[in-house]
């Protein structure tokens, strides 16, 4: 008779809990993706995710990582471009959240206009009000 030994809670969970393929979540601004992104990342515990912030240098840094390091990521998420799968050692599955394009642009406009530190604020603030819909 063999005894079943419970899993060690200090041990990281098994690699890729739901799929043998890495997941790439492309977060589009103002498309309700932040909530979905948090849910997705929670499904891959153990710190095997890579979050892109939109910084161009970060894209270059990721591509420069050794293949073994890129192979450890179960989920790549954030403001990442399509094509990141070319730098992953196995085929990837892409997901994103879409929103009505007009609603998304209007939402982004209002978001930028309420955040003077946003990189688009000066350009949009000088363009005048948004026409009524």
Q: What is the pLDDT of residues 18-53, one digit of tens each?
A: 556 889 999 888 887 888 888 888 887 776 889 998
* pLDDT greater than 80 at residue 103: yes
Mean pLDDT of 79-85: 90
What is the per-residue DSSP string for the chain? --PPPPPPTTSPPPSSSS-SSPEEEE--TTSSHHHHHHHHHHTS-SS-EEEE-S-HHHHHHHHHS-HHHHHT-SEEEES--TTGGGGSSS--EEEE----HHHHHHHHHHHHHT-TTSTTHHHHHTT-PPPP-
- Model pTM score: 0.70
């Amino acid at each position: 008779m063999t005894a079943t030994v419970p899993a060690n809670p200090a041990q990281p969970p098994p690699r890729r809990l739901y799929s043998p393929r890495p997941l790439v979540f492309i977060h589009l601004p103002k498309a309700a993706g932040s909530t979905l992104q948090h849910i997705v990342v929670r499904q891959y515990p153990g710190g095997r995710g890579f979050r892109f912030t939109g910084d161009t240098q970060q894209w270059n840094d990721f591509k420069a990582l050794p293949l073994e390091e890129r192979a450890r990521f179960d989920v790549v998420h954030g403001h990442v471009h399509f094509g990141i799968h070319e730098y992953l050692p196995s085929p990837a599955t892409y997901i994103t959240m879409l929103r009505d394009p007009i609603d998304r642009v209007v939402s982004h406009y209002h978001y930028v206009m309420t955040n003077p530190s946003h990189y688009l604020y000066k350009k949009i603030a000088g363009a005048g009000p948004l026409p009524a819909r």
